[in-house]
Structure 1
Amino acid sequence: MEHRHYIIYKPYGYLSQFETNSKQQKRKKLLGELHDFPDDIMAVGRLDEKSEGLLLLTTDGKLSDYINSRKVEKEYFALVDGNVSDKAITHLSRGVEIGFNGKKYVTRPCKVLKLEQDPALPERSKKIRDARHGPTTWLSIRLREGKFRQVRKMTSAVGCPTLRLVRVKVGAMQLNNMQVGDVIEVDRFAL
């Protein structure tokens, strides 16, 4: 069987799934609304409803497991509330304690940098907030794990809640100049 692979720019407000039986989720936007995907397609990892950016889709379960393992680095751009201190960046880089499945968990070391200028990203469909509410900082966070809402929990743990979260890279796959909602079929993933 020949597998099929896609990269998409998942929009804000969409769930990283194709169908749902949940009555609460019936009114939610699903990935299947963006493109006519094969029946056996699956999202490689997830981005929550309020997150956006690069999402890989495949019909190859083994490839999905490999990408979700700690072998493949993912990079996120996070717009956070406040001016982030060097101390907070060091703390994030070394690992912070977050809650996961009702238990405390210390994140693995990762790479965190303060971006010197705002990234060139498409406008988000829902306004975030304006400057009168105080300063914000863009961070690049590169990690090899992916606990539930991990990046959001990490930034909150150092006192800088995430206002916008965009995954920009998985392995060597990047958003580049994709626009929100773009779907591109690829022969294989560059990892």
Structure 2
Amino acid sequence: MARHAGLQGAGRQRHGYFEHWRRKDAGKPSKLGANKRISDEALLVHIKAIHAEVRQEYGWPKMWKELLARGIRVGKERVRKLMQRHGIKARGKRKFVVTTDGKHDLPIAPNLLARNFSPAAPNQTWSSDITYIATDEGILHLTAINDLFTARWWAGCPTGPPDQESCSQASRSFRYRSANGRPLADNRWR
């Protein structure tokens, strides 16, 4: 009882004093030692690890919240300044790339399908599409052809920029696989 005799006069509660000694005896950090400041170098290691883990998508607000979630208590401004000082920032959003040009005086392809999306037999009506896939090496263009009866996609040719030859090659590839059929897709790229 002699250890906590002066607590009443100092305005301290007995349970806080015993909590401190219980944690100290258990080997856990006490609340009295919780104010230890993590060094900037150690914090920077954590920030860089999280930054790489989330593929450079977090700015300082999300980084601060992630550090708190991982049990590292630091201030917002400290995280912001440290990231700014070391050039760590979130990757910006990519610019939207327009891939079609509807402002031209060229004739529009005729509507051969006439909204008949239910053909009577396979290999009578096909549709095609060109899709763009972002890769580490650049943009890959994939030309694909669809048989509307079976709803089966026939992957055509992964190519560089779409041109008339790549679309024609996909069409020839599909015609080779099917005995007869009327292509709905135009063989020319516009």
Name whichever structure is richer in strand by fraction: 1
TM-score, with structure 1 as normaliser: 0.17
**Which structure carries more relative contact order (alpha carbon 8 Å, separation 6+)?**
1
> Which structure's CA Rg is the greater one?
2
TM-score, with structure 2 as normaliser: 0.17
